[in-house]
Amino acid sequence: MRKTFLASLAVLLFAFAAVAGEKPVVGLVMKSLANEFFKTMEEGARKFAAEDGTFTLIPVGMNSETDIDTQINAVENFVTQGVDMIVLAPADSVGLVPSVKRAVGAGILVVNFDVTLDKEALVANDLPEDFLFVGPDNEEGSYLVGNFMAEKLGRGSKVFIIEGNPGADNAKQRKAGFMKTVNEYGLDLLSSTTAHWETEEANTVMTNLLTRYPDVKGVMCANDSMAVGVVRAIEAAGKIGQIEVVGFDNIGACQELIKEGKMLATVDQFGPEMAANAIKVGFRILGGEKLSGWIRTPVQVVSAKDF
């Protein structure tokens, strides 16, 4: 499967190189395209590229959230082809840094977005600690939606956290935000377990946790794909209406669950615009601006009152 993906990517790269002419080429490296959030992100980036018309966009993604090697190979292929810009949402905040270093060394502008690259790994690879990042405050977003749930449940309520991929900084940041809620509201945290951003894994994890802790009252999920799996497990156990669920991403599937009263809230980080915003920042740099550090993008809690 991976060899097929890489072969297809190479063909795409050569094809785009042939037709791009003088237009700069932007390689967009996303996470799993099985996740609705990244599908809408790709759609938003393609729409922006088509409307802008001044550059050629090559979007690629992974088959699953843990398929780190595919991301690394995608970046390496973009370096080989000499694209003008790589816009990267790393699935592993440490593992992608050496590839970023090779891209920068080849004179390619790299814009990190969505998930921050690890600062220690950046410094260890002779890259600046304040390497440009365009993205949301993940800790703040999870804290806000966690508080939204805690206000509904009340102090001392029993809760789970379903974590994202442990290798991703946004997973760590979202857990940190949830933990602030747990501590400030005195919630009883029964379990904090990773499901690696995946729906089916989250469904299995939640099913097992419900067997062990049937009196849980709330679940804080680090993304909406996992929230979907959690709600399915709750529904299968006949506990809809008894357990509140919050997520992060505001994907369409979770909007429907919120409307149906099966999920309490999520966080909108404006995914359709996220990659496009990162590309816009990249062209500002190519145009001569000196930018570094964190360019923040918004987060907002979404609940039934918003529909």
CA distances from 236 to 162, 232, 233, 283, 292 (A): 18, 6, 5, 49, 48
In this prediction, residue 66 carries a pLDDT of: 86
Scan for tokens 């990773």, then name that residue: 194
Mean pLDDT by 10 residues, the chain (307 residues): 43 43 91 94 98 98 91 97 97 97 98 96 98 97 98 98 95 98 98 97 98 98 98 98 98 98 98 96 97 96 97
Scan for tokens 């600690």, then name that residue: 129
In this prediction, residue 213 carries a pLDDT of: 98
In this prediction, residue 21 carries a pLDDT of: 54
> Is-contact 117 90, C-beta < 8 A?
yes
| Domains 2-137+270-298 and 138-268 in one fold | yes
Measure the CA–CA gap between 63 and 35, rounded to whole angstroms. 9
In this prediction, residue 256 carries a pLDDT of: 98
CA distances from 41 to 107, 140, 219, 250, 273 (A): 26, 21, 26, 12, 7
Residues 76-90 as b/e (b if ≥16 CB within 10 A, e otherwise) read ebbbebebbbbbbbb
The helix (H) or strand (E) run that includes residue 279 is: helix 271-286
> Is-contact 274 40, C-beta < 8 A?
no
Within 8 A by CB and 6+ apart from 219, the residues are: 159, 160, 161, 162, 206, 227, 230, 234, 243, 244, 245, 246
Domain boundaries, the chain: 2-137+270-298, 138-268
For domain 138-268, say whether CATH 3.40.630.10 is its number: no
In this prediction, residue 110 carries a pLDDT of: 98
Within 8 A by CB and 6+ apart from 151, the residues are: none
In this prediction, residue 22 carries a pLDDT of: 81
* CATH number among 3.40.640.10, 3.90.1300.10, 3.40.50.2300, 3.40.30.10, domain 2-137+270-298: 3.40.50.2300
Give pTM, 2 decimals: 0.88
DSSP helix/strand/coil, 13: helix
Amino acid at 129: E
The helix (H) or strand (E) run that includes residue 163 is: strand 158-163
Quick one: DSSP state of residue 118? P
Measure the CA–CA gap between 171 and 169, rounded to whole angstroms. 5
Scan for tokens 């814009």, then name that residue: 111
Helix 271-286 to helix 36-52 angle, to the nearest 10 degrees?
40
Within 8 A by CB and 6+ apart from 18, the residues are: none
Quick one: DSSP state of residue 95? T
